[in-house]
Structure 1
Amino acid sequence: MSLLKRAGSVFVLVLAFAGSLQAGELPDFTDLVENASKAVVNISTTQKVKSGGMQLPEGIEIPNLPEDSPFNDLFKHFFGEQGGSGGGAPPPPREAKSLGSGFIISKDGYVLTNNHVVKDADEVIVRLADRRELKAEVVGTDDRSDVALLKIDAENLPVAKIGKSEELKVGKWVLAIGSPFGFDYSATAGIVSALGRALPRENYVPFIQTDVAINPGNSGGPLFNLDGEVVGVNSQIYSRTGGYMGLSFSIPIEVAMDVANQLKEHGKVSRGWLGVLIQDVTLDLAESFGMSKPQGALIAKVMPDSPAQEAGLQVGDVVLAFNGKEIDRSSSLPPVVGSTPVGKRVPIKVMRDKRTQTLWIKLGELPDKDKKVAKAAESKVASDNRLGVQVADLTADQRKELDLEGGVLVDGIGEGPAADAGVRQGDIIVRINSTTIKDVEQFEKVIKELPAGKSVPVLVQRRGGPIFLALKVPRDD
């Protein structure tokens, strides 16, 4: 055989091997979709809302005009049919409809979906794979996790297999089934993009991020692994257009099922509560606290009469582990705490004054609403200092309003270390380098003693919430 023929044969074999390898690596979803779709449902809701027409202010009526008056059409255009003379009855409410998805978790008719799918709905209809349409009862909802539990009157229903999201890894294949834009039983596939994502205003859910195409109508539907097990509940997308842009987020199935079980048994959801406000540890803050690398959750505030206060946690502590689970970022702490049973006593590992120690804490129950702190008013008393910032004493009323025992108000700021650190006018400086600031006199004394050329942590109160900043102390000339 000639050299050319041998080379050609080798080339063909390589192509065949590469083709079979590629075909072997790409999953076939046909069996998964056929079997799993039976437990997926379409959810439609109806809500009565006020008519979209403008309403006249209370006490104001449409004047009794002649029938041929040109102003009649004008009033009808802006305010709708308000009746005859004397204002009459307001227009009847209109029906707003929306669509979503869900899946069956028990043979006797319990269905899992998103809270925002059924929120404020007057009627909820569940359409099954066999095209039956059944009215659903909302057993309970949980706004914090965006989970809702429904019940339909049916028996021997197909049930979705529940998996474990904790076994997922970035790069694993996943598949979603739902009703995007009302197109029932649409299947879309992709991979896990990230795990444990924290989203704004969603502190208690470590979201699964995927690149699975999720669109309006997919909400509440299941996210499957390749074994056909539900590992997540599709909840939301990141989008600038309102449609899919490659970033989809799902609630881990363990979180959703825990919420569903609590709603079924108690009608509400209880979560563990520490009673602290936290933030991430940046590289500069890690240096200021004497840490080798940024990690953990930095405590910026300890709530009064909270489990954290009773356990001895302090502002400036960095939580490194909670109940045996390492805390890499601040966003990792709330889900772990929230999923811990109320009243349970657990260990919490913290770094304090460059040393690690373990405290024991008995968790309380997360309150329904976070306590709000009012803003401080500006003070007219000011003082110059070495950091390029002017500060002023707080009045007794301001301290009472902010629930602070001390602190100084940033009344003015120019170029310098404070501005570089991110200190803003209107901030309340509460603590510098582990020293609590009581007034301007103490503030000036503390900053004179700061180590030149070193980074120190500064705790400020801003818009009602505490935040740590890393301030680089200037070198003495």
Structure 2
Amino acid sequence: MFKWFSLLALLLVAIYIGQSNRQDLPDFNELIETASPAVVKIDSVQKITGAGMSQMNERDIPDIFREPHQGGGAGEAHATGSGFIISSDGYVLTNEHVVENAHEVVIKLIDRREFEAKVIGIDLRSDLALLKIDAQNLPKIEFADSDRVKVGDWALAIGSPFGLDYSVSAGIISAIGRSIPTKNGDNYVPFIQSDVAINPGNSGGPLLNLAGEVVGINSQIFTHSGGSIGLSFAVPSGVAVDVISQLKSKGRVDRGWLGVYVQEVDKSLARSSGLTKTQGALVAQVEAGSPAAVAGMQAGDIILYFDDEEIIESGDLPHVVGLLPPGSQTKAQLIRGKEKKTLDVIVGTLPDGLIP
């Protein structure tokens, strides 16, 4: 009798645990139904010469980071990507590489309506493009505060991988503030990393939180084969909101400029500088006449804080500086030798092709 009672008790406990675990898992159904109408498929036709767009981009991108899009052959390329509506009057956000050099951009909605889109502006350094279609009363998706995103948060992507419209994939946020260079070698975006399955055609689509808000714009994947291996990277919503505002108001994006080349701080340098750990950005070179030079920065300085933001790795510095409005007055805290210094800095405007 006792044996059967024990077995029954164990069974009831197992059922309870199973039900509890199921209750802890998110239900994506309502989120998908609400957000999907604002997600769009983007087809663009691009004039190219020589090899197809996909192959050209793969040669340009360092190591094995790739932009998840599709390309065509020589002469003309048909690129497929994703995007999402950010305002009811027809503004759409996507990746720049989805509409790169396009002479025709068509946006397809979930209700099968199609619109020819106008490119309002592009920003190569964040790989974002703002489009506009002639329509009203459209469904839209709101942006979340990407500064509140935490590792381990649930995330969901909606897009058109390999042309399969409105496919959904889910996972978690794996890391934040990743320094991943774009195809042009720029490093101004503190990417959000997730294990959400992102594939060619997902480019420009939204990465959503459980509230159905956009925390990031899917942009790059880490891959050997061209398909997802669980390492995808999204432009944070905070970066996107700033880019959208500037593209709408002036058709371009101005970024903060300091004018230094930086390197990582190794263990030996950290020890000789009196640091207890490797941190900061080592100034290897200061551009003549730059804001850094005017502020008194020197080669060999180790920048520990900029604008009250801690600089853990050298790649953190362009993230912080680039997001500051030109003309901002701020402070840089650094180590010179073993002496701590605080310098007043007036941030400049980043010229094309120059260092942060």
TM-score, structure 2 normalization = 0.90
- Distance in 1 between residues matched to 2:129 and 2:153, nearest whole Å: 27
Structure 2 partner of 1:23:
22
Deviation at 1:250, TM superposition (A): 0.3
2:240 to 256, 269, 275: 256
- Distance in 2 between residues matched to 1:284 and 1:241, nearest whole Å: 38
Deviation at 1:246, TM superposition (A): 1.1
What is the identity, as a one-letter code, of the residue corresponding to 2:337? D
Query: Any idea what SS the aligned residue of 2:117 has?
Result: strand
2:195 to 206, 211, 231: 211
2:150 to 127, 144, 169: 169
- Distance in 2 between residues matched to 1:42 and 1:245, nearest whole Å: 23
1:317 to 288, 301, 311: 301
Query: Any idea what SS the aligned residue of 1:219 has?
Result: coil
Structure 2 partner of 1:351:
335
Query: Any idea what SS the aligned residue of 1:190 has?
Result: strand
- Distance in 2 between residues matched to 1:35 and 1:94, nearest whole Å: 40
- Residues 356-395 of structure 1 aligned to structure 2 (within 5 Å): 356-370=340-354
- Distance in 1 between residues matched to 2:341 and 2:103, nearest whole Å: 53
Deviation at 1:368, TM superposition (A): 0.2
What is the identity, as a one-letter code, of the residue corresponding to 1:350? L
Cα pair distance change 1:48/1:202, threshold 3 Å: closer
Deviation at 1:50, TM superposition (A): 4.9
- Distance in 2 between residues matched to 1:163 and 1:195, nearest whole Å: 15
Q: Give deviations 1:3-46, integer Å, cap 9, x for gaps.
A: 21221122112201220221022111010000000110000001
How many residues are aligned here? 330
Deviation at 1:245, TM superposition (A): 1.1
Structure 1 partner of 2:139:
158
Q: Which has the larger radius of gyration?
A: 1
Q: Does 2:207 match 1:223?
A: yes
Cα pair distance change 1:299/1:49, threshold 3 Å: closer
Query: Any idea what SS the aligned residue of 2:189 has?
Result: strand
Query: Any idea what SS the aligned residue of 1:308 has?
Result: helix
Structure 2 partner of 1:140:
121
What is the identity, as a one-letter code, of the residue corresponding to 1:265? S
Q: Does 2:277 match 1:278?
A: no
Q: Give deviations 1:292-348, integer Å, cap 9, x for gaps.
A: 111111111111000000001111111111111111111111111111110111011
Structure 1 partner of 2:163:
182
Deviation at 1:211, TM superposition (A): 0.4
- Distance in 1 between residues matched to 2:50 and 2:303, nearest whole Å: 52
Structure 2 partner of 1:48:
47
Gaps (5+ residues) in structure 2? 52-73
- Distance in 1 between residues matched to 2:117 and 2:83, nearest whole Å: 12
- Distance in 1 between residues matched to 2:25 and 2:219, nearest whole Å: 26
Q: Give deviations 1:232-268, integer Å, cap 9, x for gaps.
A: 0000101110111110000001101211111111111
- Distance in 1 between residues matched to 2:326 and 2:111, nearest whole Å: 42
Structure 1 partner of 2:292:
308
Give yes or no for contact 2:83–2:94 (8 Å, CA) kept in 1.
Answer: yes
Structure 2 partner of 1:115:
96
Deviation at 1:289, TM superposition (A): 2.1
Deviation at 1:269, TM superposition (A): 0.6
Give yes or no for contact 2:47–2:101 (8 Å, CA) kept in 1.
Answer: no
What is the identity, as a one-letter code, of the residue corresponding to 1:97? H
Taking only the aligned residue pairs, the percentage that are identical comes to 54
- Distance in 2 between residues matched to 1:49 and 1:340, nearest whole Å: 35
Give yes or no for contact 2:46–2:100 (8 Å, CA) kept in 1.
Answer: no
Query: Any idea what SS the aligned residue of 1:134 has?
Result: strand
TM-score, structure 1 normalization = 0.68
- Distance in 2 between residues matched to 1:123 and 1:310, nearest whole Å: 46
Structure 2 partner of 1:194:
175
Query: Any idea what SS the aligned residue of 1:125 has?
Result: strand
